[in-house]
Amino acid sequence: MAEQLSSGTALHVAASPTGWGKLWREPARPDWIRRRPGAPWLVVATVCIGAFMGQLDASIVTLAVPAIRSDMNASLAQVEWVALIYLLVLVGSISAVGRLADMAGRKLLYTYGFALFTIASLGCALSPDITWLLVARAVQAVGAAMLQANSVALIRTSMPAAKLGKAIGLQGAAQAIGLAMGPSVGGLLIGLGGWRWVFFVNIPAGVIGLLLGWFLLPRTHVKAPRARLDWPGLTALMPAVGALLLSLSEASRSGFGNLTVLGLLAGSLVLFVLFVLRERRARHSLVDLTLFRSGTFSRGVATGLLGYLVLFGVLFVTPLHLESEYFLPPAQAGLLLTVLPVSLGLVAPVAGLLADRFGARLPASAGMGLAAAALAVLVFSSHDLWVTAGALAAMGLGLGLFTPANNASVAAAGHDHQAGMVSGVLNMTRGVGTSLGVALGAVAYSLANVLGNSAGAPAVSGLGFRMAVALFAVLGAVAAVLSFLGRRSRPKAVPGPEGPPVPG
């Protein structure tokens, strides 16, 4: 059947492709799956596999860095790029991948993203030297971008608007569980078989995810019009994001007063300005800037960045504090820290239900307020281990309330044919927030060394921890206020102008 166009939105109906053409067409789900009342929840379950593996892989790799350095006889700078190149490629490319998915098909890019991620994981595991490993990590990041740019978009376009919050809450729980299990699973794998098993573990999960995605995910019924990818915009965006992430990485070691950091920040700012100017003129923009005219969308992106900043900043500074002040070994410190993502994962589905029933404003503002209050307790009671554990659990509960509700309000923005673009912006926000949280936490520790150089190591560590946590508490309070200023109405997916979807 010929491609149909309606109101500027392409509605693609697959013909009967043969040979290699089948590889570039999204197959319809089997009728017995499509007709099931619970078919949308099968989509959520499939997406949760990718969400779980993405966070598990992120937290496992950091544990493998010392073993990689020793085994490959690599320098510290080279090994640092094992984590950094993954983040740079992922965050820098995710908006472009989301835009491409809106045109080519989200199911297609998601399933092939699983395939690419799995193959690249095998390449990482079999790497003979550090150069090979870095190249494989860059390819792995492209696969991860194909997964992340489409995960929220697939949920948004498959679920009824009234259940969107619950579905995104379940995805958030899967991410939190993956994050929580990373240190323990990583330590076990490295202890039993070495660092290469950190990558081998992705292969069976990737194969399962690929097969489930191919058979359970629906075709993309509402596609953006086919157009040239905005290469000038991408040429400005990728180095802008790269310079920003590099500056934050360097700031975590040298502080924000370092000339290299300042130069990278200035270059990033210039490139971002050029990107915005380009997008305002581009006929088919990489990111539709008109989305930011919506207070709900722009506020959700801003508070989401602050939420990820607070979460990953605390995850960075707390192990340092536990090891230096309480002399806990890394394994015990990591185990105590898991109370945060575990409590986040437990409450995230409930938060989604609350968002569906009452709107995003109540759970988002209350959750971020609870997280800020828990951090305030840590500032004044960080000398008590049990209070520290309780405050971390309360913070996890707060972020578990905030994140799914906020993500659902952002995911519902725009039309269905922009879902990949919106998902890409949401995930790029997470990457920048993660890096900014780590950088600010590290700078607080560096500043504490300057202010308390006459004190002992535990005292300096305690001061740095309190300074970092106080900063995160203030930023959390700002996010709570911004969330409270949001609209009361429930997030509703805006239907595209193209008419009813095609079955499958």
> Given this model, what pLDDT does residue 4 score?
36
| Residue 148 backbone dihedrals phi, psi, to 5 degrees | -70, -35
Write down how long the chain is: 504
pLDDT in tens, 381-438: 767 788 888 999 999 999 999 988 888 888 777 677 777 777 778 878 888 888 888 8
Mean pLDDT taken over the chain: 80
> Given this model, what pLDDT does residue 116 score?
94
Band (60; pLDDT cuts 50, 70, 90): confident
DSSP H or E segment with residue 4: strand 4-6
d(CA 473, CA 475): 5
Q: Quick check: 85 and 245 in contact, CB under 8 A?
A: no
pLDDT in tens, 441-466: 888 777 766 665 544 444 555 777 88
**DSSP-assigned letter for residue 494:** B
Q: In which residue are the tokens 């596999």 written?
A: 49
Side chain identity at 83, as an amino acid letter? Answer: A
Strand partners, 11: 4
pLDDT in tens, 78-92: 787 887 888 888 888
pLDDT(14) > 70: no
3-state helix, strand, coil in the chain (%, to 5): 80, 0, 20
Enter the tokens of residue 259: 């000339």
pLDDT(6) > 60: no
pLDDT in tens, 253-263: 777 888 988 99
List of residues 6+ apart from 183 with CB closer than 8 A: 59, 60, 63, 334, 335, 337, 338
List of residues 6+ apart from 457 with CB closer than 8 A: 324
pLDDT(503) > 50: no
User: Which range, of 11-25, 111-125, 307-321, 360-374, averages the lowest pLDDT?
Assistant: 11-25
Please write down the long-range contacts of 291-294, taking CB distance under 8 Å and 24 or more positions apart: 291/413, 291/414, 291/418, 291/421, 291/422, 291/425, 294/413
d(CA 498, CA 8): 8
- More confident call, 138 vs 334: 138
> Given this model, what pLDDT does residue 448 score?
67
Enter the tokens of residue 314: 């605390």
Q: Quick check: 499 and 6 in contact, CB under 8 A?
A: yes
| Residue 11 backbone dihedrals phi, psi, to 5 degrees | -115, 105
Query: Residue 49: which of 134, 136, 117, 119 has the closest Cα?
Result: 117
Q: Quick check: 270 and 264 in contact, CB under 8 A?
A: no
Mean pLDDT for 464-484 is 91
Mean pLDDT for 7-23 is 47
**DSSP-assigned letter for residue 6:** E
pLDDT(477) > 90: yes
> Given this model, what pLDDT does residue 131 score?
92
Mean pLDDT for 256-283 is 88
What percent of the chain clears pLDDT 70, i.e. is strictly above it? 86
Alpha carbon distances (Å) from 269 to 265, 301, 497: 6, 18, 36
d(CA 239, CA 229): 17
Alpha carbon distances (Å) from 48 to 84, 100, 106, 322, 368: 25, 22, 15, 31, 24
Query: Residue 425: which of 76, 42, 101 has the closest Cα?
Result: 101
